[in-house]
Structure 1
Amino acid sequence: MNKKKILIVLSVIAVAVAAYLYVSLFASNTKFDKDEVYVFVPTGSKYEDVLKIIEPYVKDVDGFKVVAKIRSYDENVFPGRFLFKKGTGSLGLVSALRHNQPLDLAFNNQESLEKLVSRVSSQIEADSLSLMKAIKDPAFMKKNGFNEETVLGMFIPNTYQFKWNTSAEKFRDKMFAEFENFWTEERKAKAKALDMTPVEVITLAAVVHKETVKADERPRVAGVYLNRLKTEMPLQADPTIIFAMRRKANNLDLVIKRVKGREMLGVDSPYNTYVHTGLPPGPIAMPDISAIDAVLNPEKHDYIYFCASVERFGYHDFTASYAEHVENANKYAEWVNKLGIK
């Protein structure tokens, strides 16, 4: 074979190799219709596990394996949440599996630790049981000034950035760090001026949060409860009765539309603020920031009583007079009776 033919053959081979490499490295190797999908690789996964995980999204797994071998991914698997974009080649897919994508973990006003860990476990790898165990770890709670009744107060409703493969302990520790960041020197000073700890502020804020959905009314409601605490008057907060009844029934989803009657108002519970003076043992729910700041920045007034208004839906009527309060309460009772609410 002369030199010219050899060059032609070599050129053809080079083109074929180049074409093969291009297809292997850069040509689209995805088979999903969406613009992008997230692939989740659990902690402890092996390379063979990853191949099974990506199979529904990769058109040519053998081609992927060639590139994974070249890039040594088969020996360096990473857990996490990874973004695959439609039309990406094998080289891009292998590269994507090296970049753990953070996510925005959000939780709002969860009413219990059980509901909190259920919501969190639906967003990160850690399951409900491991989250609950980490949060209620006796050593952790004692070190940081919590107990089983108060530890819910550590969680400030918000959106936080996490890696999907975050462990239960790392989630807990970051939430405590966020709790400390939330309690700035200014907030601590305001709590101290009320002769309250941060956990006590949150405990009262949970009651305020449950009493009114109107954020602009919360400082006034907080002022009422602080006035009662100053005079050692029972808080007499209906939301604490509802909480106590739910705990007694072992059903935090129990629907209670009205608080009335001897059975409810006399329920045997440390959360019964009609019977016990002072704050309940811990927060009855997870208050949002507006409720916490309402306690720290209460409206100054002499109101002692308040009752749901029949004229301004969602708001309350306030008074310093017990006689006026009874009048307001009777008006409200008559209104809900007409509505057939029991």
Structure 2
Amino acid sequence: MMIAGKKTYIYIAAGVAALGLLFSVMAYRTFFMSNITGDGSYLYIPHNSGYNQLSDSLEKSGSVKSMRCFKRAAGFEGLENEIKPGMYHLKPGMSNHQIIRIIKRGWQTPVRITLSGNIRNVEKLSSLLSRKIESDSTEILATLKDSTLTDSLGFNPLTFPSMFLPDTYEVYWTVTPKELLLRFKKEYDRFWNRERLEKAVNIGLSPIEVSTLASIVSEESNLKEEQPVIAGVYLNRLRKNIPLQADPTIKFILNDPSVKRILNRHLSINSPFNTYKHAGLPPGPIVIPQKSTIDAVLDYKKHNYIYFCAKPTLDGSHNFAETLAEHNKNARAYQRVISRL
């Protein structure tokens, strides 16, 4: 009888051990085994998304190896009631427990927004931003055109583009348009430190006016060594109350990339941005200038030049002149080359 009892005990113990092992294997497979396919992917969870929408997105993306295991783990961990919106990086090797944890805790992966120096209007800006964050271009554009908001930030609709500085910014996909604008304003204020503000005062311009002039300079030349010289030309004109006569402002008015040459008929267009008709700076930037171009204006080259013209070498560089006669000579040399093309 004692032997039979011992055997029964051994069988029971073995059964319990087997069940324990089976449970451990199932628990490991459900919660801790890697469940991400390939090189991983990004999961986007919009605001107000439910568990079913999340599951459908995962299944359609093919990001997880076993949806059955994921759903089992999600049920045990109560994911359904704790879904946080955001963009999440599902990295290779991640387990269901890790996936669920980052979603429940809202551990988003930041998105990178790069503003370049070729943004000419808020419509293009809103289109660019909408490709990086949850909000669509319509919502973003409405925020960009919110006069109450722009006024509170110290700008008007025409000067507003000067607040945006070309750079790469990290934000969360769920950032609201207003939060994003406040982030750009924070970077703007950081850029305009005491040293730059003092330089702006010394040349008699506000930060917005510096950005406006820099936008023209940036369109005149991509050559970093020439930009301070060109800035000096325009500052000389401003001080002498001579119209800037900047061709880039006419191209801005035309808003037609196909226009290669400015004609006399273009110079009579009625617009506050027409620097042939109106003395002084235009009412706002014609493009978002690079930080380096803003610094080129602040650190402009002092000289007596009033004119400049593209060199006949057609390499993007310019000839500078103090007198109209000298400028006309440079212009004729350039026109001779152009006429042969």
- What is the TM-score when the length of structure 2 is the normalising length? 0.93
- Could you report, residue by residue, the CA deviation over 1:108-131 in whole angstroms, capped at 9, with x for unpaired residues? 011211111111111111221211
Give the aligned partner of residue 274 of structure 2.
272
Distance 2:47 2:171 in 1: 15
Distance 1:337 1:112 in 2: 34
Pick one of 42, 46, 49 that aligns with 2:46. 42
Q: How far apart are 1:312 and its partner, in Å?
A: 6.1
- Could you report, residue by residue, the CA deviation over 1:19-41 in whole angstroms, capped at 9, with x for unpaired residues? 111111122323x33x1211111
Give the aligned partner of residue 164 of structure 2.
155
Q: Secondary structure at the match of 1:216?
A: coil
Worse-superposed segment, 287-296 or 140-149: 140-149
- Could you report, residue by residue, the CA deviation over 1:200-239 in whole angstroms, capped at 9, with x for unpaired residues? 1111110001000111210000000000000000000000
Q: How far apart are 1:69 and its partner, in Å?
A: 2.4
Asked if the contact 1:103/1:163 (under 8 Å) is kept, the reply is yes
- Could you report, residue by residue, the CA deviation over 1:31-63 in whole angstroms, capped at 9, with x for unpaired residues? x33x12111111221222111111131222221
Pick one of 94, 101, 110 that aligns with 2:109. 101
Q: Secondary structure at the match of 2:196?
A: helix
List runs of 5+ in structure 1 lacking aligned partners. Answer: 247-252
Counterpart residue type for residue 260 of structure 1: L
Worse-superposed segment, 319-328 or 132-141: 132-141
- Say if 2:213 is the partner of 1:178: no
- Say if 2:239 is the partner of 1:235: no
Give the aligned partner of residue 337 of structure 1.
339
Asked if the contact 1:83/1:96 (under 8 Å) is kept, the reply is no
Distance 1:193 1:70 in 2: 66
Counterpart residue type for residue 11 of structure 1: A
**Moved >3 Å (runs of 4+):** none
Pick one of 278, 301, 305 that aligns with 1:299. 301
Q: Percent identity?
A: 36
Q: Secondary structure at the match of 1:195?
A: coil
Counterpart residue type for residue 169 of structure 2: Y
Counterpart residue type for residue 170 of structure 1: E
Give the aligned partner of residue 17 of structure 2.
11
Give the aligned partner of residue 235 of structure 2.
226
Counterpart residue type for residue 124 of structure 1: I
Worse-superposed segment, 5-14 or 55-64: 55-64
- Could you report, residue by residue, the CA deviation over 1:78-116 in whole angstroms, capped at 9, with x for unpaired residues? 111111123432122213434211122111011211111
List runs of 5+ in structure 2 lacking aligned partners. Answer: none
Worse-superposed segment, 93-102 or 159-168: 93-102
- State the superposition RMSD in angstroms: 1.4
